[in-house]
């Protein structure tokens, strides 16, 4: 609430910053008289929208105790200005949802994990106004799994859909590393939760769909030839049914509509 007392309690610093001398002395800073002090706009409203996006935000409502938020940030390397972004995320989420926030940084290597632990401080002299301390998940508190048998036993404890999701999720996370090729040898299931990522599941799934379309077109070609009374020798039938190229099968189907002999399907353009 804006009152006269409220206004006089802060406006005096705009007109006479020298009254801040006790604060400057306590912080070991040069006195205000030796500094250039300029009043800036106090409006904290964002005039131009800035896109700020937390990797993942979860609301936790435990069976006992108070609710809170978890903000998860995946960090692969030190990033300039990330500490300020993280401080903003925590302050924004806490103000928006009126809940405390646990910031979790997920790091793959120790140097990044050590840096991400912070604290990231907003400091003037010896006084810290704000400090952000992420909880880090990294090599020091997440054990490295090197036993393939342990992975297999763990996957068998899930239902098929869950195991399929975790297998493919891991493959996407491994990116183009040599370990990804090893992991692909262990994957035997079909389907995809990550379209467009080129995982083994997706490749197998798309190959199956392509095979199904090829079989459909092969059946159509043979059906048209049969209906038109064009004999198809066994050797030619094998050639048609063994083809998996969809463009070629489409061309053969188009030609089957006007062909007088089966050889017309294979005529050179």
pTM over 0.75: no
Q: Do 219 and 241 meet the contact criterion of CB atoms below 8 Å apart?
A: no
> What whole-number distance in Å separates Cα of residue 53 and Cα of residue 60?
19
> What whole-number distance in Å separates Cα of residue 225 and Cα of residue 207?
27
The C-alpha angle with vertex 207 and arms to 201 and 210, in degrees rounded to 5, equals 140
Give, for all 269 residues of the chain, the pLDDT tens digit.
Answer: 556 665 656 666 667 777 667 666 776 777 767 667 666 666 555 666 666 788 888 888 877 788 899 999 888 889 999 999 999 999 999 999 999 999 999 888 899 999 999 999 999 888 999 999 999 988 888 777 777 667 666 666 777 777 777 777 777 777 777 767 666 666 544 344 444 545 555 555 556 566 777 787 888 888 888 888 888 888 888 888 888 888 888 888 888 888 888 888 888 74
β 120-124/127-132 pair status:
antiparallel
């Amino acid at each position: 609430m804006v009152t006269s007392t409220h206004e006089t309690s802060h406006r005096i610093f705009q007109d006479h910053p020298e009254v801040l001398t006790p604060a400057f002395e306590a912080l070991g800073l040069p006195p205000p008289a030796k500094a250039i002090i300029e009043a800036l706009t106090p409006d904290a409203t964002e005039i131009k929208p800035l896109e700020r996006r937390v990797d993942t935000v979860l609301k936790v409502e435990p069976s006992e105790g108070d609710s809170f938020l978890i903000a998860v940030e995946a960090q692969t390397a030190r990033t300039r200005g990330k500490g300020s972004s993280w401080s903003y995320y925590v302050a924004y989420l806490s103000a928006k949802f009126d809940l405390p926030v646990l910031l979790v940084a997920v790091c793959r290597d120790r140097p990044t994990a050590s840096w991400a632990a912070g604290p990231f401080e907003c400091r003037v002299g010896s006084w810290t106004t704000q400090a952000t301390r992420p909880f880090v998940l990294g090599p020091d508190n997440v054990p490295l799994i090197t036993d393939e048998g342990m992975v297999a036993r763990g996957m068998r404890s899930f239902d098929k859909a869950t195991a399929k999701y975790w297998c493919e999720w891991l493959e996407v996370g491994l990116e183009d590393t040599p370990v990804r090729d090893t992991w692909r040898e262990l994957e035997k299931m079909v389907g995809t939760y990550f379209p467009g990522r080129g995982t083994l599941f997706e490749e197998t799934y798309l190959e199956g769909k392509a095979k199904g379309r090829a079989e459909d077109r092969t059946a159509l070609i043979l059906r048209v030839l049969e209906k038109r009374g064009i004999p198809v020798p066994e050797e030619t039938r094998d050639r048609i049914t063994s083809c998996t190229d969809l463009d070629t099968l489409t061309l053969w189907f188009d030609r089957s509509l006007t062909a007088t002999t089966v050889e017309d399907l294979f005529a050179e353009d």
